[in-house]
Amino acid sequence: MSRYPALVLLLVLASCASTPDARPQLTEVESPSGAFLAMVDPAGAETILAAGGVEIIDVRTPEEFSEGHLPGAELIDISAPDFVSRIEDLDRSATYFVYCRSDNRSGQATALMADLGFESIYELEGGTIAWLSSGRTLTTG
């Protein structure tokens, strides 16, 4: 069984897409630590999130989070003084999906996570800006 079930599902669904534009995009990022780290577009993110088995982390501010976030996301504000300790407390063997507004802060967060030994991390390419631009919505609940 694959260690990355969401990746396997994404690849299967991508191969079944009817048009090239409908295929989710996943770009694996080289990680010096050996972690699986991939940037995914909104379509790929939606597929991964629908498959389940990932912990969703929003690294934006509490104000941004309250304006709208992905369902099931946990807020771990990258600008908060306890950010590193909260990340260090997470299970390194779990699979994480990390996002922010534009993918700048989430890029910093995923790099830290990889350096700390996290094994499997997805990052939303373009952040919530790309998510909303693709016609998807955020929740405030």
Domains and CATH numbers, the chain: 5-133 (3.40.250.10)
Pairing relation of β-strands 95-99 and 120-124? parallel
Catalytic residue among 100, 111, 121, 130: 100
Q: What is the pLDDT along the chain (141 residues), one digit of tens a residue?
A: 344 444 444 443 443 443 344 456 767 766 666 778 999 999 999 999 999 999 999 999 999 999 999 999 999 999 999 999 999 999 999 999 999 999 999 999 999 999 999 999 999 999 999 999 999 999 998
DSSP 3-state helix, strand, coil percentages of the chain (rounded to 5)? 40, 20, 40
What pTM value is reported for the model?
0.81
* 16 is known as an active-site residue: no
